[in-house]
Amino acid sequence: MWIRHLIERITKNYHFLSQSHLIQKTEIKFAYENFLSFAENTQKRLYQDWWTKSSELQPKKLLQKAFLTENKSFLAVYFDPQILLALNESLWWMRLKYEIPYSLTDVYNTRKSFRQMREETNRFVRKFNK
């Protein structure tokens, strides 16, 4: 997640600056601690916002929608982008050791078969449309 990368970058610079004799260490430490507090609060707020949106998503209902649509004389694959986005975001939050909503747990646990189904459907549609 972007905020973790930012924290790592700032931490490296903080360690470099804290070894410098040109700048007062108390000012650097104060600014660094303020930044860490801000970053952690931002991450928690983003997680809470995501949790709320994901809990309301109802992914099982979205997966029951038809994923083949007719576009003029061709077939097209349509998987709800909300599902794809929710699965990707779930992966990132789990890597950061956060819990994912129960409504996404089943879908997340079957993500490999979901991805395989998407690939096979896309392959079928490409062959059908030729």
How far is Cα 100 from Cα 62, in angstroms, rounded to an integer? 18
Question: What was the pLDDT predicted at 81?
Answer: 80
Burial 83-122 (b: 16+ CB within 10 A, else e): beebbebbeebeeeeeebbebbeebbeeeeebeeeeeebe
Please give the distance of CA 108 from its chain centroid, rounded to a whole number. Answer: 12
Cβ pair 68, 50 in contact under 8 A: no
**Which residue stretches of the chain have pLDDT < 70?**
1, 66
- Rounded Cα distance, 27 and 33, in Å: 10
pLDDT of residue 41: 94
pLDDT at 33: 93
- Look at residue 15 in the predicted model and tell me its pLDDT: 87
Q: What is the mean pLDDT of the chain?
A: 84
DSSP SS3 for 36: helix
